[in-house]
Chain A
């Protein structure tokens, strides 16, 4: 699983952190989303689904 964060778009609303069932995400000291445990990600996409800012993306396939 590859988690891509666009920090420029992230407003730190915490929706993705709250809906991640595996505690993969957190807010950093700047109040932006950061990935704390990528290996725990199950690729459910709950974070991307409800991100109002198009700031997080889950890619299931490995980068070419």
Chain B
């Protein structure tokens, strides 16, 4: 047994994800990051919304919450404020986080509350059969965009940055080893941390867009996603074809739960 496997509810495995689905790779990276940091299993909470990605919480052996679609962040905020000692990790999908949950996302980032959000970005609503999400790239096909979508997608890392997140990183299922460190650093940041993780959905996205097998989709990621330093050396036109990976942004702001505790103290008459 690998050390990180102690964090799985092995009696619930094999998981329900399709053959080749990238969610299993991303979930494994989270478990490895937790093992690496040696977090206390009893002080770590996993919260997710609804979607194939959000099923991950059910396979992880912590106190876990599988909440409502788009609502992982309000639940996570409540948990963190009630008990700031806990490590609160949020698993969400591109629909869950950026469509129905978009408003919660910008405000959780704005508050800089100490949560670590791992967005499993497969560019599609996987669970419901392949509707376009706010992260579906232009021209890609979806059940709701049979001729290809023309809605401009968000860049979720830029949204997080503008909203005030203090740690932002991007990794992929192909780059599964460095992904572990990106998640671990996010957990260590005392503030709102966001790790966009590109994953393949061969069933609801790849097949409709003729992207080939799960392995072919992973190989695509290995070519389009490049380290930030290499990305910065590209011309503006070249950048259109690529995405930067690694730690993209860090900042320092007061953390919300700590500020909240100060107010509680003050309101209770403690002037110190």
Contacts and interface: CB of A to CB of B under 8 A. Distances in A.
Q: Indicate whether A and B interact.
A: yes
Given A14-B215, A18-B213, A19-B215, A52 B13 contact: no
Interface in B194-239: 202, 213-216, 218-219
A9 B215 contact: no
Contacts of A55: 14
Contacts of B23: 52
Nearest to A49: B176
Interface string A11-48: 11111011100000000000000000000000000000
Contacts of A57: 2
Interface centre among A12, A53, A55 (most CB of B within 10 A): A53
A52 to B, nearest CB: 3
B49 interface: no
Nearest to B219: A18
Contacts of B138: none
A15 B20 contact: yes
A52 B17 contact: yes
Interface residues of A, number: 18
A52 B21 contact: yes
A9 B25 CA distance: 14
B183 to A, nearest CB: 15
Contact of A49 (B17, B177, B202, B213): B177
Contacts, number: 59
B192 interface: no
Given A18-B215, A50-B218, A54-B28, A13 B176 contact: no
Given A14-B213, A15-B214, A53 B15 contact: yes
Contact of A9 (B14, B173, B174): B14
Given A15-B218, A57-B2, A50 B14 contact: no
B156 to A, nearest CB: 22
A55 B19 CA distance: 12
B203 to A, nearest CB: 11
B14 A11 contact: yes
Contacts of B28: 52, 54
Nearest to B202: A13
A53 B213 contact: no
Given A11-B19, A14-B20, A53 B14 contact: yes
B11 to A, nearest CB: 12
B24 A54 contact: yes
A13 B214 CA distance: 7
Nearest to B22: A52
By Cβ-Cβ distance, the 9 closest A-B pairs, closest first, are A52-B24, A13-B20, A18-B215, A11-B19, A13-B19, A9-B14, A15-B215, A52-B25, A49-B176
Interface of A: 8-9, 11-15, 17-19, 49-55, 57
21 contacts: A9-B14, A11-B20, A13-B19, A13-B202, A13-B215, A19-B218, A49-B176, A49-B177, A50-B25, A50-B176, A50-B218, A52-B17, A52-B21, A52-B22, A52-B24, A52-B28, A52-B173, A54-B5, A54-B24, A54-B28, A55-B14
